[in-house]
């Protein structure tokens, strides 16, 4: 009995270590400049919806809706952490995804119309910088959720993420010229303010964007990779380093667990 208890403790240590690593790579509400969901969130949501309704500046309205979209994903993240019944989770995921996609489509349409009349407006540029950054953070959240949800819900999130990614590429292609498009994606990769793990995940999302998008977007992604070979090589090496560190540290934990088990066998009368 004691052997199994010790073995269980060892496994718990390994899982705890993995959880710490995963937590380091998590996108938080703070990263998206929104608040964590709470039992009183519905009150704040009403107030924010009223604010959106009475906001007539198209860029300001889009900023508020981008925050609302971010809150939808943080809500999904909270639901998966609570680990509800898989069937119930699927229903909730579909409902929240519908709200999220509706918000993103409204933002895309409004900003595209604003750009036609105000192509050089500074506030448009500032918003597109933020929009690109937050959309990539959204995709990182969805990517992480694929690893957490029950198997039945995994396919839903994967399909949603790929669909959102493709639409994001199309929208960004319409809203900015080739140079702007490439610079905004590259900026996220170069940001020293972000953890290396998050920059690596961002690189992986950009790579995936080059797989699921239309030809003109794929062409731009290929150009980014060609023009920034050293940056992609550096992040690729970091990716291998992260994976190796996880494997090595997990092996250490496994060896320690086995050592404790063997010691217990010897001590056993």
Predicted confidence (pLDDT) per residue in 87-135, tens digit: 777 788 888 888 999 999 999 999 999 999 998 899 999 999 999 999 9
Task: Return the SS3 of 118.
Answer: coil
pLDDT band at 227 (very low <50, low <70, confident <90, very high): very high
Query: In the prediction, which pLDDT does 68 show?
Result: 94
| Cα 8 versus chain centre, distance | 32
C-alpha–C-alpha distance, residues 11 and 47, integer Å = 46
Domain spans, the chain: 2-8+56-267
Residue 81 C-alpha from the chain's centroid: 15
Instruction: Give the pTM.
Output: 0.77
The pLDDT of 237-252, averaged and rounded, is 82
User: Would you state the structure tokens that stand for residue 214, as one six-digit string?
Assistant: 């239309």
For residues 225-240, b (16+ Cβ closer than 10 Å) or e, as one string?
Answer: eeebeebbebbeeebe
Kindly report which listed range (10-14, 107-111, 197-201) carries the lowest average pLDDT score: 10-14
Residues 6+ apart with CB under 8 A from 263: none
**pLDDT for position 28:** 86
The values of phi and psi at residue 257, to 5°, are -65, -45
CA distances from 124 to 70, 106, 109, 129, 266 (A): 19, 16, 13, 9, 70
Mean pLDDT of the 42-52 span: 87
Supply the Cα-derived Rg of the chain in whole angstroms: 22
Q: How many helices (H) and strands (E) does the chain have?
A: 10, 0
Residue 65: other Cβ atoms inside 10 A: 19
């Amino acid at each position: 009995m004691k052997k199994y208890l010790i073995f269980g403790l060892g496994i718990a240590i390994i899982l705890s270590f993995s959880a710490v690593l995963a937590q380091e790579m998590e996108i938080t509400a703070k990263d998206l400049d929104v608040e964590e969901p709470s039992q009183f969130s519905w009150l704040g949501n009403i107030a924010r919806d009223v604010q959106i309704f009475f906001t007539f500046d198209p860029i300001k309205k889009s900023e508020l809706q981008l925050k609302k979209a971010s809150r939808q994903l943080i809500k999904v993240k909270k639901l998966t952490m609570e680990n509800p019944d898989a069937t119930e989770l699927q229903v909730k995921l579909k409902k929240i995804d519908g709200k999220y996609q509706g918000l993103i489509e409204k933002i895309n349409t409004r900003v595209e119309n604003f750009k036609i009349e105000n192509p050089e407006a500074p506030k448009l540029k500032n918003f597109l910088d933020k929009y690109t950054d937050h959309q990539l953070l959204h995709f990182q959240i969805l990517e992480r959720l694929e690893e957490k949800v029950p198997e039945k819900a995994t396919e839903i999130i994967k399909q949603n993420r790929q669909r959102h990614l493709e639409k994001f590429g199309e929208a960004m292609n319409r809203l900015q010229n080739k140079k702007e498009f490439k610079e905004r994606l590259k900026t996220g990769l170069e940001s020293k303010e972000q953890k290396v793990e998050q920059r690596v995940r961002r690189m992986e999302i950009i790579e995936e964007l080059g797989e699921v998008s239309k030809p003109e977007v794929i062409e731009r992604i290929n150009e980014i990779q060609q023009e920034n070979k050293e940056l992609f090589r550096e992040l690729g090496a970091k990716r291998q380093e992260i994976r190796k560190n996880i494997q090595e540290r997990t092996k250490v934990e496994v060896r320690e667990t086995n050592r404790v088990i063997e010691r217990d066998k010897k001590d056993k009368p």
